[in-house]
Amino acid sequence: MQGVTLTQHIRQSQLTHPEARGELSSLLTQIGVAGKVISSKVNMAGLVKMLGSTGRVNVQGEVVQKLDEYAEETIQNIVGGSGQVCALLSEELKHVIEIPEDRAGGYIVAYDPLDGSSNIDANVSIGTIFSIFPKKSSGVEVTRRDTMRPGREQIAAGYILYGSSTVFVYTVGDGVHGFTLDPSVGEYVLSHEDIRLPSKCKTLSINQGNAPYWPRWVHDFVERMLARNDEDKRRVSGRHIGSLVADFHRNLLYGGIFLYPADQRAPRGKLRLLYEASPLAFIIENAGGAASDGHQRILDMEPTELHHRTGLLIGNEAEVQLAEQCVRDAEAAA
Ligand code: AHM
Ligand code: MG
C-alpha cells in the first residue's frame, strides 16, 4: 500500500489546526473505524440477510431498514465508546444519548447513520454523515446549549460514502480531503487532496417527481438552469440518485447544485438540519461552495428541535445565489 493514510492525515491536520487536539484526531479515527465496519456489512448485505426492513418505524416516521439499525448500533458502540464524546445525536433516535461520565469526552457528534436508506436494497450508493461540535457548557451535564447548535460552531464534519468504493471525506475547517478505503489492507488512503468545487455548475440534482408540490420559485430556477442548454451545447445535466450523500459527493467532484426545497408535501423541508444539511454545508463552504435554505446560510440556522427540518440548496455559490434570487423574485411577485 502506498500513500498517506487517514490516521496520518488527521494527525497532521491536528498539528496545524488551532482547535484540534489529540482527542479530535482520535474521534475522527474512530468514526473511520465505524465506517469500515458498516462498509463491510453493506458490501455483504445480500449474503448475510441484511437487506429489507426491520418492520419498525423511526422517529421520523420512516421505515427502519436492517442496515439502518446495524449502522446505528455500530456508531453507538464505536463512537459512543471512544472516550471522546459526551453526547450522540442521531437521525434515527428521538432523544440525545448521553455518555456516562466515566466514559465521556469533550465532543458532541450528530449523525445520519445511513443516509439514502430507500436505496439500500437496490445496491445504490448510501452513506454515513457526521458533524462534530465541542462541548459548550461547563460542567459534566449535557445541556441544550451543547446540542442545539448552529452549523458554524462545528469543528469538523464529514461523510463515508459506500459506493463503487468506500470513501471517507472530512474537513476540520481548513480544506476538504477524501480517502478511499483499500479493502485489502483495511486502510483509508488519501485519494482526493484538498477538494475544490469546480467553478462550473454542470449538474442539477432535484427530485422532479416533486414538481407538482414545488413553490413557484423552484420552477423558475429549474427553467433558468435548463435555458443554459442550447442546440450547440448541453451545459447542465440532470443527475439525481435519491441518496443525498451520493448526490452531494458527485456534485462536489464535478460541480453542481442539489436542491430539496420546502414544498407542499414537506412545508418545512424534508432534510434534517443537524444530521444532513449542516455537516454538508460545512463541507461545501470549505470546498468553495455555498448552502442555503432559500433565505439564509444553512450554517447560521439555529435548530429549534433535534429533528429540525429545512429546505436545502447546496453547491456552486453562483447557482445557490441564483436560487435565492428566484425565491426573492417569487416573494416580491406574490
Ligand atoms: P434518509 O436519511 O432516511 O435516507 O432520508 C434522506 C434522503 C436523502 O438521502 C435524499 O436526498 C432524500 O431523502 C430523498 O427523498 P425523496 O425520496 O423524497 O426524494
Ligand atoms: Mg438522511
Q: Closest ligand 1 atom, CA of 258?
A: 11
**By alpha-carbon position, which residue is closest to atom 12 of ligand 1?**
242
Q: Is 243 in the pocket of ligand 1 (CB under 6 A)?
A: yes
**CA 13 → CA 89, 106, 117, 175, distances in Å?**
25, 19, 32, 10
**Distance in Å, CA 225 to ligand 2 centroid:** 26
Beta-bridged to residue 85, according to DSSP, are 107
Whole-number pLDDT of residue 249: 98
Q: Helix, strand, coil % (nearest 5) of the chain? A: 35, 25, 40
Crossing angle between the packed helical segments 317-333 and 216-226, to the nearest 10 degrees: 140
Q: Is 242 in the pocket of ligand 1 (CB under 6 A)?
A: yes
Q: Is 115 in the pocket of ligand 1 (CB under 6 A)?
A: yes
**Distance in Å, CA 70 to ligand 2 centroid:** 15
Whole-number pLDDT of residue 16: 62
- The yes/no answer on whether domain 203-333 falls in CATH 3.40.190.80 is yes
- Please name which of 281, 322, 313 lies closest in space to residue 152, comparing C-alpha atoms: 281
> What residue segments make up the domains of the chain, in order of their start?
6-192, 203-333
Whole-number pLDDT of residue 58: 82
Residue among 118, 120, 208, 314 whose CB has most ligand 1 atoms within 8 A, to mutate: 118
Q: Closest ligand 1 atom, CA of 246?
A: 9
Q: Closest ligand 1 atom, CA of 112?
A: 2
Q: Is 166 in the pocket of ligand 1 (CB under 6 A)?
A: no
**Distance in Å, CA 266 to ligand 1 centroid:** 12
**Distance in Å, CA 276 to ligand 1 centroid:** 10
- The yes/no answer on whether domain 6-192 falls in CATH 3.30.540.10 is yes
The grid coordinates of residue 126 equal 448510501
Residue among 62, 111, 243, 310 whose CB has most ligand 1 atoms within 8 A, to mutate: 243
Which ligand sits closest to the CA of 246?
Answer: 1
Half-sphere exposure for 6 (CA within 13 Å, toward CB):
30
Q: Tens-of-pLDDT digits for all 334 residues of the chain?
A: 678 999 999 888 765 666 666 789 999 999 999 999 999 999 887 777 778 888 888 887 888 888 999 999 999 999 999 999 999 999 999 999 999 999 999 999 999 999 998 898 899 999 999 999 999 988 888 999 999 999 999 999 999 999 999 999 999 999 999 999 999 999 999 999 999 999 999 999 999 999 999 999 999 999 999 999 999 999 999 999 999 999 999 999 999 999 999 999 999 999 999 999 999 999 999 999 999 999 999 999 999 999 999 999 999 999 999 999 999 999 999 8
Strands 53-57 and 309-310: unpaired
Whole-number pLDDT of residue 62: 80
Whole-number pLDDT of residue 214: 98
Whole-number pLDDT of residue 19: 63
pTM of the shown model: 0.96
